[in-house]
Structure 1
Amino acid sequence: MKKCLLTLFALMMVTPGTSVFAASFNCNQAQSITEKQICAVRSLNDADVKLATTYQLILKAVPMGSRDAQKDRQWQWLKQRNRCGKTIQCLQAQYQNRQHELDTVIEQRILSQGPF
């Protein structure tokens, strides 16, 4: 049931006109080796979109006082992710771990307590 809710929330966050097959950033402007690798590898691209969508959902659903902590954690994770360079296995592990963290936030803070 929770997976269905998470999927529904993720689908609601995709705005019209946004391609679900593009990274969360403009691949034409990718500068770092990591960004270029994310754009080049479909599984990383998909993981990036899913994670970015989940993250945006959390920012909209958690109380204002929690948003700065979520943003700080995301910046720390991005720094950690970028240390992978173009190593696919490292990037996949980073995305899996961070997605798990974000899914836990949704389950424990939003679905169980509600943003209301």
Structure 2
Amino acid sequence: MCFYDQQIFTCGDHKWGRFRAHCNKEYRTGETCGMKLIFEASRVGTKCQMCKKHEVIWRKIAQAHERVKRWESEGINPVSTDKEWDNIAQWQRELQDINMMRHTKMRSI
């Protein structure tokens, strides 16, 4: 139960900061017990890296959908649209991975 700073992002996620103080259970110099308690929590005015990455991927998917829609209306090569659909599917898998990481992180608190 050693004490650490904590940063809380606008999205509600958090990040552990630097080490601040030892607890009374740890007697070895320079070692921590492994349990983290909050010494000081500070709010950060930005979103976490996972949320930023999530937004970037959503923008890529929206742009790809727009391109596919335009290409299909113009009658452009269907091979290009198939490749773009493959890219969209890959980005959607990345979004699922990000959501899974977020849920496991929130469950581990």
TM-score, structure 2 as length reference: 0.27
More strand by share: 2
More helix by share: 1
* Higher Rg of the two aligned structures: 2
TM-score, structure 1 as length reference: 0.26
